Amino acid sequence: MTEVIVELKNVEKSFKKSERQDLLVLDNVNFKMHTGEIVALLGKSGSGKSTLLRIIAGLVNPSNGEVLYRDKPVQGPARGIAMVFQSFALMPWLTVLQNVELGLEALGVSRDERRQRALKAIDTIGLDGFESAYPKELSGGMRQRVGFARALVVNPDLLIMDEPFSALDVLTADNLKSDLMDLWTEHKTGTNGMLLVTHDIEEAIQLADRIIIFRSDPGSIRAELHVDIPHPRNDQEPRYRALVDQIYTLMTTSPDRPESLLAAGGKATDISLGYRLPDVDISELIGLVEEMAEPDQEQSIDLPELVEELSLDVDNLLALTDILEILRFANISKGDIELTPAGRRFAEADILQKKQIFANHLLRYVPLARHIRRVLNERPSHRASEGRFLGELEDFLSEEEAERVLKVVIDWGRYAEILAYDYNAGTLSLDNPE
């Protein structure tokens, strides 16, 4: 029989933004996890999925709502839950063996038993021979294996993983994933459930029995999908491909647009001043647009294919498509992307023309850029301190996020030559330095 391992009831999390305001990062999250299940939390970066994982782990307290682990409220890290970290979080001054033993030491396990269990876990995860190595001697993949061994050695009831494969290269990650799945299907992990946070769509489909898709601003559950494909899963299978398409469609549809899934063509978004502009590098944006305008590309391109072809990170692609849509350079619907006429013109223009087109679109469709430009125009000195705009942005965003967004706009504005910026003084102006 399956039992409930973890249950979340109306979980909310907000961070203090200023004396008066709070910033809501998780809103009304409800879900249950059962024994024998692998669940993936899938979402863009900054959607609060990692925060949710830390709430379940007991590292962060929810502002509202309740987390139950085996029917008991979670208050601080619970025994029985072990975690694998994105950045491995190994102690660099401890050997592989000592790292694996650490959790047992904390539990007060005797020296001999500790050693025995640690050696067994190291053996299971395929690290035999590296016991006395220090983490810095190991490659990323090996380090994460230590992370897994350290988690599994305490025989956790629930294993939670925070983007465990995202710091590894593709081949290493695949290798580690398939090893983990082998252990899981052969019941060698000793755990009753696994919960994983990821932004990689295919990774979620490959591993999970259930995928929970997150939306951002504030983070909340947008959809839940069951994956009923037996392991090992073949990524060419029609059911697998259909799932990939379905998730791309879900994730590229901006939640601000009411179910535009059905609306043909999909309307581009109008964003507000405090919109969390994605971190996008101009040259990457231009590169993508030019690639899409190549004669051998079809009018409307399948997003999963584009990801594969350009070997892009999904997170990165979503950021790029987001800004392409905002700037009206492309339309996205049903997991396909298509350049608008303006986008095509942009792709075919020369360097200086590109800047002009970009500047026009930036001022028209990105309210923050428009606002900064207006302020600079209105002032007799044509200059303003960045602090002024940061203050305004902080009405909508956290301090850190405001800084990031302003930096993105300054970057784009400099490229478009609609503003100049002095790094040392921290001032924005219209003129270029002499």
Partner 1 sequence: MSMRYNKVYTQEKFYLAPNRWDFLALVFIFAIIGLLIWSASQMAAPYDVGTGLHISLNPSNLPFYALQTTFRMLIGLVISLLFTFIFGTWAAKSKQAEKIIIPLVDILQSVPILAFQAIAVVPFIMLFHGSMLGPECAAIFAVFTSQAWNMMLGFYQTVRNVPDNLKEAAQMYHLSAWQRFWRIEVPFSMPGLLWNTMMSMSASWFFVVATEAITVSGQNIRLPGIGSYIALAIGQKDMHAVGFAIITMLIVILLYDQILFRPLMQWAEKFKTEETDNEIESYSLVIDVLQRTRLLAFVRRGIIRFDDLFVNSIKSGARAQHKPIFSYQKYQRFFTWSWNIILIISVIFALSFLIFFVLHTVTWNEVAQVFLYGAYTATRVLVLIVLCSLIWVPVGVWIGRRPGMAQIAQPVVQFLAAFPANLLFPLVVIAIVTFHLNVEIWTTPLMILGAQWYILFNVIAGAAAIPNELYHAANNMNVKGWLWWRRVVLPGIFPYYITGAITAAGGAWNASIVAEVVSWGHTTLHATGLGAYIAEYTRTGDFHRIALGVGVMSIYVLTFNSILWRPLYNLAEKRFKI
The contact set with partner 1 (CB under 8 A) reads 54, 57, 59, 61, 75-79, 81-83, 85-95, 97, 102-103, 105-108, 111, 115, 129-134, 136-137, 150, 154, 424
Which of 69, 275 has the CB closer to partner 1?
Answer: 69
- Min dist CB 130 to partner 1, Å, is 7
- Min dist CB 150 to partner 1, Å, is 8
Rounded Cα distance, 99 and 222, in Å: 38
138: left (phi > 0), else alpha (psi -120 to 50), else beta? beta
Which of 134, 240 has the CB closer to partner 1?
Answer: 134
Which of 94, 349 has the CB closer to partner 1?
Answer: 94
- Min dist CB 331 to partner 1, Å, is 40
- Min dist CB 82 to partner 1, Å, is 7
Which of 360, 398 has the CB closer to partner 1?
Answer: 398
Rounded Cα distance, 289 and 284, in Å: 9
Q: How many CB atoms lie within 10 A of CB 248?
A: 25
Which of 103, 304 has the CB closer to partner 1?
Answer: 103
CB 202 within 8 A of CB 244: yes
Which of 118, 207 has the CB closer to partner 1?
Answer: 118
Which of 2, 132 has the CB closer to partner 1?
Answer: 132
CA-closest candidate to residue 150, choices 183, 124, 178: 124
- Min dist CB 118 to partner 1, Å, is 9
- Min dist CB 215 to partner 1, Å, is 26
- Min dist CB 139 to partner 1, Å, is 12
- Min dist CB 116 to partner 1, Å, is 11
Which of 123, 237 has the CB closer to partner 1?
Answer: 123
Provide the CA 139 distance to its chain's centre, in angstroms: 23
Q: Hey, what long-range contacts does 320-323 have (CB within 8 A, 24 or more apart)?
A: 320/278, 320/280, 320/284, 320/285, 320/288, 321/252, 322/254, 322/278, 323/277, 323/278, 323/280, 323/285
